[in-house]
Structure 1
């Protein structure tokens, strides 16, 4: 039976965040094309709720859905600049959350983490929320181990994400955790979103849009696309800058403006993702994976995975290897 994901829609639900679980989990399928998740939406009383846009939504389920869910998702439920200190943690919401079985996986998107925190479910545990409200969150819930910068947090059975698109990253992370990179990447391709952004990436980079002159293409996208095809080769900064037709200084500045990372950081992230895919989907040795992903040696690959994922390549393969 497919894993049941219950999405709790509250009054004032933000439509984009509300639709993320259905879009991501609903696209996850096995090799035979069978759905891996069943996604259903419920409200506190089974009736329609208003969204933050100019329409209401009607659902087929009430809070009883939470009793049999394997995963429960709380999306954001407020408008653009709410007074979140007065977020409506009502007796009805408290009663609905008590229906959730022990061990059920809980996820929040954007400011949905305020509701989990208000219920006491995040005390002593890592969490994040939309960057705009992190100071308020920290003041309101001092017992929560708030990480204000990251895209999402994963503490096993409780996961939280930052604002808006970070909810996409979180759901893809869960698909990858459940079924491996091949399934998650297929979902990402179908939804036309990046297949993987590490949860430790900063959720917000306040940088101006790169300026171009004369309408000519002076960005770094073409070089990034080329680099993805040549990750196994040495990619020094000078080589990348020359390919872009820029000085090293200009290339580095524009690369950071467009990606939020330095060229070296970005390449290491892409090589790590390549290594993850090879570990999951091939029988290559650790040294072969290291060479094909651009890390050169098994020792270098081990250091990178330890530093980024806190796991050795062999242990990662045992945990996440996609079944044949």
Structure 2
């Protein structure tokens, strides 16, 4: 039986804590035998999670024998990580245990140094925080989850379910994972990415806020990076430097994302054909729309629209 320990630090997000307990704890084989032993452990016997207190039945030492350790998020992801938890996670990684974070738990996992040089994701509202506090981590803001082999991270809330089902698929195969998805009443895989949920204020507080707002307002028009720079006004070289320094990507990339967001809105709220959506979003042609969608959202416009209009849709031909 695969042994899973879910960490329960003070201020843990209850949803993140419950996700692996419910998703992995209900996985069974064809005879109804549980395939995971899931336990909650931590340095304190009781932890506060918002308005509720949670009894932690196992001590932190329980992770010493775990095959997989899950690190949930905390309501205050800026708080220092408990030294005992940090040392325990590092030791577990050294012996080869698999460690997965959920939501802003990626910031706790990053505090151990284990994510340095690796790709990671987190809730879209915490992307800037993760990037600023841990510059050695390669942040993938649009991913629902990232699998580095031994170390995994998921985006916010429900993306933790996606990650857990991915773990089931890795451990026991697609058939068992599909059964687990049916039990959870969710699709086994979601075609879209976190990009569909990212609001325009994803990196709020940047000195580029007014520039980003201008881009959002004019993205459907045939504007270029030079037009953006003229609206600021700064040189294109200065604009590129500011975007790379503060946002980690060039203005051309942000413009493409803004246009994809417009296309997403049109796919969600209208029955317009793909060529009209491409034109109205500023992406021009259907081929460019499909290419940008695949790059940023991780699926095609047709699958995206179908997934939003058909609950539980997994894959629909374009």
**For the Cα contact (< 8 Å) 1:162–1:203, is it kept in 2?**
no
Moved more, 95-104 or 188-197: 95-104
Name 1:311's counterpart in structure 2. Answer: none
Distance apart, 1:185 and its partner CA: 1.3
SS in 1 for 2:188: coil
SS in 1 for 2:57: coil
SS in 2 for 1:49: strand
Q: Matches of 1:21 and 1:174 in 2, distance apart? A: 10
Name 1:169's counterpart in structure 2. Answer: 162
Distance apart, 1:28 and its partner CA: 1.1
Is 1:61 the equivalent of 2:100? no
Q: Matches of 2:58 and 2:90 in 1, distance apart? A: 17
SS in 2 for 1:39: strand
Distance apart, 1:98 and its partner CA: 4.2
Within a 5 Å distance, the mapping from 1:128-277 to structure 2 comes to 128-198=121-191, 202=195, 204-206=197-199, 248=273, 262-264=301-303
Change (3 A) 1:198 1:4: farther
Name 2:48's counterpart in structure 1. Answer: 50
Change (3 A) 1:129 1:121: same
Let me know the Cα RMSD of the aligned residues. 3.1
**For the Cα contact (< 8 Å) 1:110–1:167, is it kept in 2?**
yes
> How many pairs does the alignment contain?
225
Is 1:91 the equivalent of 2:83? yes
Name 2:227's counterpart in structure 1. Answer: none
Is 1:20 the equivalent of 2:12? no
For structure 1, the residue ranges without an aligned partner over 5 or more in a row are: 208-244, 275-292, 296-324
Distance apart, 1:206 and its partner CA: 4.4
SS in 2 for 1:87: coil
**For the Cα contact (< 8 Å) 2:86–2:111, is it kept in 1?**
no
For structure 2, the residue ranges without an aligned partner over 5 or more in a row are: 201-269, 281-292, 294-298
**For the Cα contact (< 8 Å) 1:128–1:148, is it kept in 2?**
yes
Distance apart, 1:163 and its partner CA: 0.5
Q: Matches of 1:71 and 1:166 in 2, distance apart? A: 18
Q: Matches of 1:102 and 1:124 in 2, distance apart? A: 19
**For the Cα contact (< 8 Å) 1:6–1:73, is it kept in 2?**
yes
Change (3 A) 1:246 1:128: closer
For residue 73 of structure 2, the aligned residue among 71, 76, 83 is 76
Q: Matches of 2:119 and 2:9 in 1, distance apart? A: 24
Q: Matches of 1:199 and 1:102 in 2, distance apart? A: 35
Within a 5 Å distance, the mapping from 1:23-34 to structure 2 comes to 23-34=22-33
**For the Cα contact (< 8 Å) 2:60–2:85, is it kept in 1?**
no
Name 1:5's counterpart in structure 2. Answer: 4
SS in 1 for 2:58: coil
Is 1:116 the equivalent of 2:155? no
Distance apart, 1:149 and its partner CA: 1.1
SS in 2 for 1:16: helix
Change (3 A) 1:38 1:199: farther
**For the Cα contact (< 8 Å) 1:116–1:122, is it kept in 2?**
yes
Change (3 A) 1:264 1:67: closer
Distance apart, 1:248 and its partner CA: 3.2
The Cα offsets for residues 202-248 of structure 1, whole Å up to 9 and x where unpaired, read as 362549xxxxxxxxxxxxxxxxxxxxxxxxxxxxxxxxxxxxx9563
Q: Matches of 1:194 and 1:205 in 2, distance apart? A: 21
Name 1:321's counterpart in structure 2. Answer: none
Q: Matches of 1:126 and 1:87 in 2, distance apart? A: 22
